[in-house]
Amino acid sequence: MMRVLCSLLLLAFGGIAQAALVDFEDVAATTPCVSFPNPCPASITTPQNFVFTVTNADNGNEVYVTSSNTSDGNFITALGPPDGYVAITVTHQSGQAFSLTALDVFVADVFEGGLPGFATVSGFDAASTSLGMQTVSRVGSGWESVALDGRWGPLHSVVVEGDFICTFGCFWTFPSVDNFTASVIPVPAAVWLFGSALFGLGWVRAKQS
């Protein structure tokens, strides 16, 4: 009995989440691509099973993986029409919750000719309740590393969203993401195994009594 319990406890605590780095180096670049005849995809799934999708946008928005001298390699960018904002939503392909440690964000201000602009990074749970939000403001290089704390979990989606502001003129920003570091929170299957084992032990006892 004690051996069974010890084995089940090892199973329960063995599923520790391993951090995955999504740097898009293992994703084929999709540039150059244009709306016609070779449109960019609306979403990209990485080998780490994270899905990056363009959301909160009108028709014609696209997401693509590209490379630039302003980063350490490939990164993902969302583009949209000049009449609204765009956002990149990140989820896990299996729908599992995950914890986010850090990501790099670049936001280009279209109105000012590609200068660094503004964006927000938001995290949501399974009920689409906001668990946290952080503003990414203008930085000299355009890239900013965003570090997050444990209060942001467990997450079911992360949204990196550009701005669309009109005062005397209108400008919008389109976001880019790189070095997305996250850990999938394991489904506690060991708990089900634990319950099944206890049920089986009880059944055997009943049969033998």
The pLDDT tens digits for 164-176 are 655 555 556 678 8
Q: Which CATH architecture has domain 18-185?
A: Sandwich (2.60)
Structure pTM? 0.72
User: Which of 152, 136, 155 has its CA nearest to residue 144?
Assistant: 136
Q: How confident is the model at residue 59 (pLDDT cuts 50, 70, 90)?
A: low
Tokens (6 digits) for 85: 């904002």
Which one-letter amino acid corresponds to residue 149?
A: D
Handedness of CA 70, 36, 164, 175 (dihedral sign): negative
For residues 73-77, average pLDDT: 83
Residue located via tokens 């997401």: 63
- pLDDT tops 70 at residue 159: yes
Length, in residues, of the chain: 209
